[in-house]
Each structure stands twice: as structure tokens, then as C-alpha cells.
Chain A
Amino acid sequence: DQQVKQNSPSLSVQEGRISILNCDYTNSMFDYFLWYKKYPAEGPTFLISISSIKDKNEDGRFTVFLNKSAKHLSLHIVPSQPGDSAVYFCAFIGGSQGNLIFGKGTKLSVKP
């Protein structure tokens, strides 16, 4: 049973517009949430995180929103740039030793 769902396998956005990537989870015990970005032939790189005591965290063009009642996490990228084109994974701390549970990823394409 999937604990983490990224229901959109792909997303296409025009340069300069907002990209919104979504993630749903089922386990209410999750309390730390992360977004990773992955380019082809490279490992995932950490992008931004949020703990359950917050509902928003912002870092430059990237903002993560957490809606605990809806068990929903989203990543906003404003403005989107062609270099943002990558696969984005949401992830949650799933164990006491810090092991991550990943979603299946959403491939973002930002068109010039």
C-alpha cells in the first residue's frame, strides 16, 4: 500500500509561470517532509523541507506548503525556469533512523 502518492507523473509549464507539484500521504505519524530534484544521470539533490509544526517554508523561488488535515504537501516554483526541468520527488521520514519514503516522482518540463 502506497504511503506516498504523487498522482501526476508529468507536468508542463511555460517559463515564468508557476509550477505546482503535489503529494499526498496516508500516515499521520509523518512529521518531516522533503522535496528532492533529480536530473537525468545524477543523484537526487535536496531542495527544501518542512516540519509538521509549520505549514509553509520558503527558500527563494521555492515554497513548500503542508496541509496536515488533508495530508497534502505541495511545492510551488515561481517563476519557473527551463533549468527547473527535472523529476521532483516528495519524501517523508519513515523510520526512527531517518530512512526516507519517496513518492514515484513528477517530471516537470518548463518550456521557454
Chain B
Amino acid sequence: DVKVTQSSRYLVKRTGEKVFLECVQDMDHENMFWYRQDPGLGLRLIYFSYDVKMKEKGDIPEGYSVSREKKERFSLILESASTNQTSMYLCASSFGGRVYQPQHFGDGTRLSIL
């Protein structure tokens, strides 16, 4: 079974702090993704990466950055946290290549910015 592990289930931080959300997958997947889920808005893509040290902006990258130094690990960084970044954050991974592959998700990190 694919395992996507997010380092924290719940996190509380203060406005202006630098926040790191970590995600690790154990299936040697090429692609990794970060989404946020908000009520009434569904899942929105923040950033994704299709290889080590590669990154692409998703639909809502503002206020975020990412890091992918190793294939299995994809980090989401909130440079200076703001209250409108309070949300559920979901990491996902999938195989790359030409055949479409479903994404496998972690259980999410519920982040509250006070």
C-alpha cells in the first residue's frame, strides 16, 4: 500500500511565523503535490513537483514556497503565516510517466494561524 505521511495532523502557529509542513511518501513516486481544502472551495493546488529540485506553481501559490531536495520528501513553506492561510493542507503523490496515475493522499494537516 502507498503511504503518504504528513508530519503533523494539527498545528497552531502565530501570524508572521515561518511554517514548515512536511510530507514523505514511500512508493518512489516522481510527482508530489500540495493542496489546501477549504469549505465550499474543494481542493486547490498550491504547488507540485515532478522531480527532485523541480517545482511548478499551482492555482494558488501566493504566500507559499516549496522544497524538494529528495525524491521522497516534499515540503510546503509559509514564509510569513497569515490568518487567511488557516486551512486543511493535503499532500499527494503519484507515479510520473505517460500513463495517468491516481494521486494518493496523506491524512492532512489542519493548520490554524492565530
4 extra interface residue pairs, beta carbon distance < 8 Å, beyond A46-B103, A89-B43? A6-B42, A9-B40, A102-B44, A104-B40
Chain B: interface residue total (CB-CB under 8 A): 28
Q: B60 → chain A, closest Cβ, in Å? A: 13
- Interface bits B9-53 vs A (CB < 8 Å: 1, else 0): 100000000000000000000010101000011111100101000
Interface residues of B (CB under 8 A from A): 4, 9, 31, 33, 35, 40-45, 48, 50, 56, 58, 90, 92, 94, 96, 100-108
User: How far is it, in angstroms, between the C-alpha of A41 and the C-alpha of B48 when the chains are bound?
Assistant: 22
Q: Given A43-B4, A100-B103, does the pair A105, B42 have CB atoms closer than 8 Å?
A: yes
Q: B69 → chain A, closest Cβ, in Å? A: 19
Q: Are B48 and A42 in contact (CB under 8 A)?
A: no
Q: A44 → chain B, closest Cβ, in Å? A: 5
